[in-house]
Amino acid sequence: MNLFLDAWHYFTDGANWSGPSGIGSRIVQHLWYSFLTVAVSAVIAVPLGLIIGHTRRGAAVLVGFANAMRALPTLGLLTFLVLLLGLGLIPPLLALITVGIPPLLAGAYAGIANVPADVVDASRAMGMTERQILFRVEVPNALPILLTGLRGATLQVVATATIAAYVNLGGLGRYIFDGISLYRYDRVLVGALLVAVLAMLLDGLLAFAAWASAPGTGRLRRPTPAAQSAPLSTQDRATVPN
């Protein structure tokens, strides 16, 4: 019980929220590492997943690649990269990318591959090019699954970004590693709680984005007065590519 009381006292002390080593600064650092990792992972994984999902070629290789990346021990990989490249931001960024790529890759591929075939065939019959089909038909319909992949990647990266403190960087992992080295387990609890709360907040935002992006629902549109008073016809309900 003293452990939780000490953690509570740490949270309620205003001095612990300010300064370069305060909770606010640590949260910003943690978000920055997470954002960089997810952005780089998305640049690599999303185009690859879109191409494989659209062409239906290389799915077996994709699954094997994603599973191989999931099997890599992140902390062990980080240690190897530090020995190879030295200290700095690059080793933890490369190690965290192995956590961020698999969910994004799987989400991009699954989202495109699960677009109904008759929708794609109808778009081809209308004379649309393969590029137009991908970006104007498949991607909008696959957006909820794409965002679900982003949601999974963000959660895993935020939870794993604590390893940045292992190589003398900042972030919320600083509380965990410093607390362990100093036998201050209330600090370890502070870091763990902050990571959990941050992950849940981001998860909630991305879950709402996935819910709102469902095609054909119009959840992000503000209906006009005429649309509010008139019932929707069957044709209005259909999703037609632009």
Task: Residue 190: name the closest of 1, 19, 9 by CA.
Answer: 9
Domains plus CATH for the chain? 15-237 (1.10.3720.10)
Using one digit for the tens of pLDDT, what is the confidence trace for 15-29? Answer: 889 888 899 999 999
* Burial 81-90, CB ≥16 within 10 A → b, else e: bbeeeeeeee
The pLDDT of residue 222: 56
Using one digit for the tens of pLDDT, what is the confidence trace for 70-129? Answer: 888 888 889 899 989 888 899 999 999 999 999 999 999 989 988 888 888 888 888 888
Give me 5's structure tokens. 């009381």
Using one digit for the tens of pLDDT, what is the confidence trace for 132-154? Answer: 888 888 888 889 899 999 999 99
Using one digit for the tens of pLDDT, what is the confidence trace for 164-185? Answer: 998 888 899 999 999 999 889 9
The pLDDT of residue 223: 53
Q: How many residues does the chain have?
A: 242
Helix, coil or strand: residue 62: helix
